[in-house]
Amino acid sequence: MSKVIVIYHSQQFGDTKILAEVLAEGVREAGAEVEIISTNERRITLDEFLAADGVALGTPDYFSYIAGTIKTFFDDIYLWDKSGESVKGKPAVLFFSHGGGGRGREPFENLAGKFFEQVGVTVESRRPTGDEAKEQCRTLGRELVKKVPLKILP
């Protein structure tokens, strides 16, 4: 079975966490295994990252940028890549929550574009999280599973 990891930061109201959980439901509905990792609880390991066929990344907009722990995640991938690990090119979907500015979108997409093949359109949600953004995340989770490499069972 294909495996997707949902990696997100959420701290202030839980908006990004709601989006991460609905997106994970979409992944499960499409038939893939999913693991959810909160980057303000812990860092993702290289082995966990390598084991993922697809990635969903979520952040709040912090100062028109991404959350610090998601930046650390990108820093980690950069360093893994520089040390010769095969970390580039996984399919990924992006989602973020903001308080009305939303200018974090561009740096988020730019950084993700260095390491991932983006699937679909970034879900942008102005808080408080509404049903429309939740449905967009569910759909994005399903779309991601269609793009992950097929695993042939022995």
Q: Which residues bind ligand FMN (CB under 6 A)?
A: 10-17, 60-64, 97-102, 127
Please, which residue, 95 or 116, has the CB nearer to ligand FMN?
95
Q: Measured from the CB of residue 119, what is the shortest distance to ligand FMN in angstroms? A: 22
Per-residue tokens: 82: 């520089």
The CA distances from residue 71 to 60, 67, 110, in Å, are 12, 6, 12
Q: Measured from the CB of residue 144, what is the shortest distance to ligand FMN in angstroms? A: 20
Q: Measured from the CB of residue 92, what is the shortest distance to ligand FMN in angstroms? A: 19
Please, which residue, 105 or 147, has the CB nearer to ligand FMN?
105
What's the CA angle centered on 69, arms 67 and 70, to 5 degrees? 70
Q: Is 10 exposed, middle or buried (0-12, 13-18, 19+ CB in 10 A)?
A: buried
